[in-house]
Structure 1
Amino acid sequence: MLEICVDTLAGAYAAFKGGAGRIELCSALSEGGLTPSAGLMQAAAALPVPVYAMIRPRAGLFLFSEAETEIMLADIAAARAAGLAGVVLGVQQADGALDAARLATLKAAAGDLGTTLHRVIDVVPDPLAALDQAIELGFSRVLTSGAEPLAPDGVGLIAKMVHRAAGRISVMPGCGLTADNIASVLRATGATEAHAACSGKVAGDPAFSDFDPPGGRFETREADVRAMVAAMQAA
């Protein structure tokens, strides 16, 4: 199973046509992925593969206020109303640990929607303890780079997480994965699904102000998705 993160409808269709089995729908991937608009959720729901909406109201780490939690609850309701298959969540406490109580509230709002715990697990003090909490909360999977900037560098911890999960939750490596390295990461970790962007930089249009992200705008490439799917199948 390859999950592709996208922030446009064109990207979602490119991911599907390339063979992705699931789509993580975001806005602002340049900021690590924020909550997509209600309109984008509704449009992406027509795709014949599961679509999960990122529920993240702002950039930065994941200590959210009560007001931001209310926004997240409303966004979960919007994802459900749009007909999406699931949501992607993550909240931490002031001490950096996973906020199990607030996550339980969000999980309850999600109801029967699928749920992924995002890379908040990479910035908590004890990722293995957070994995246990995710299992207790009933998450479908966790997305992780193994507490390293890139998943290929975090395969040691990812393998420990897969072993500890023992089939109770899926551990999904993500960040820095390509068709060239995905096979080695899957073999090293024992993971059976992966998360990637499969995108390339698009030249910005000149304007009186910089409307593109500082690093340039990226778009999902069907050919890159197809190549990664083939590499995973070979692995």
Structure 2
Amino acid sequence: MSKRMVLEVCAFNIQSAVIAERAGAARVELCDNPVEGGTNPSYGTIRIVREKISIQLYPILRPRSGNYFYDEAELAIVKEDIRVCKELGCDGISVGIQTITGDIDMERFKQIVEWAYPMGVTCNRAFDATPDPYKALEDIIACGCERVLTSGQASAAPDAGKLLGQLVQQANGRISIMPGAGVRSSNIKKLIAESGAYEYHTSARKVIPNPMLHGNPAVLDSGNIYMADIEELKAILAIMQ
């Protein structure tokens, strides 16, 4: 019997988290800083999002952008953020940690999973930065994670259907392989056929026009507001179902 297909939405703000639930998604990965690939959301963001949505909530625990090789002070931040996520009633966390050579840091990842219990743990795209995805998958399984968020070590998951399918076969039900990055309604049908995965991850994001009535063109660091597109999410879910 095949498993029910699940959509996780990467939400960069509270509005996107609410849209994700309204569209019918099963889980929100809550992040800040979309330009840097996602970093820790604030305490206030996690608390208010938890109050606003009833679907699963997995904040990303990534204290900075760049790599996933953390020093002891950064690991202490992760530990404290795990405590906060438990306190606020999160269902799990999305996190990853590597050694200086790029392998999964099994010793410290096992410690993170232990700290997080009974919350679930998704290994985030630190997996995509490892030198050997097949070894990394076994390491992550041994650490006790419940899923791997991965683009198949490509820029976008739809470009890596073959490797994703191989990872699903290797996992053999021991862990969920969740393709993510570049997943849209225009490509998910092919990705499902190639990978055989049952969980998928998307931000379905679009840029929202700036509503401000005044702006200074000399200020260049304001960035964009990204919002989940509810119609795109519904289209993805319709194909998955």
Where on the TM-score scale, by shorter chain, does this alignment land: which range? Answer: over 0.9
Is 1:130 the equivalent of 2:136? yes
Match of 1:88 in 2: 94
Q: Which runs of 5+ in 1 are unaligned?
A: none
Cα distance in structure 2, aligned partners of 1:219 and 1:74: 28
Q: 1:6, 1:29 within 8 Å by CA — same for their partners in 2?
A: no
Give me the TM-score of the superposition, normalised by structure 1: 0.95
Does structure 1 residue 210 correspond to structure 2 residue 220? yes
Q: 2:22 maps to which residue?
A: 17
Q: Which residue of 2 aligns with 1:2?
A: 7
Contact 2:62 / 2:95 at 8 angstroms: preserved in 1?
Answer: yes
Aligned counterparts of 2:222 and 2:146: Cα–Cα separation in 1 = 34
Identical-pair percentage: 33
| TM-score for both structures, normalised by structure 2 | 0.93
- Write the distance in 1 (CA, Å) between the matches of 2:181 and 2:156: 5
Q: Is the 8 A contact 2:40 2:59 kept in 1?
A: yes
In structure 2, which of residues 173, 179, 195 is the aligned counterpart of residue 173 of structure 1? 179
Aligned-partner SS, 1:41: helix
Once the two structures are superposed, residues 4-48 of structure 1 have per-residue CA deviations (whole angstroms, 9 ceiling, x without a partner) of: 001211110011101111000111122111111111111122311
Letter in 1 for 2:109: L
Of residues 166-175 and 102-111 in structure 1, the stretch that sits farther from structure 2 once superposed is 102-111
Question: How is 1:1-235 mapped onto 2 (pairs within 5 angstroms)?
Answer: 1-46=6-51, 47-204=53-210, 205=212, 206-207=215-216, 208-213=218-223, 216-233=224-241
Q: Letter of the aligned partner of 2:207 in structure 1?
A: K
Flag structure 2 segments of 5+ consecutive residues without an equivalent.
1-5
Cα distance, 1:170 vs structure 2:
0.3
1:61: Cα distance to partner? 1.1
Distance 1:209 1:83 in 2: 38
Instruction: Work out the CA distance in 2 between the residues paired with 1:138 and 1:105.
Output: 10
1:189-215 Cα distance to aligned partner (Å, 9 max, x none): 1001100001101234533513433xx
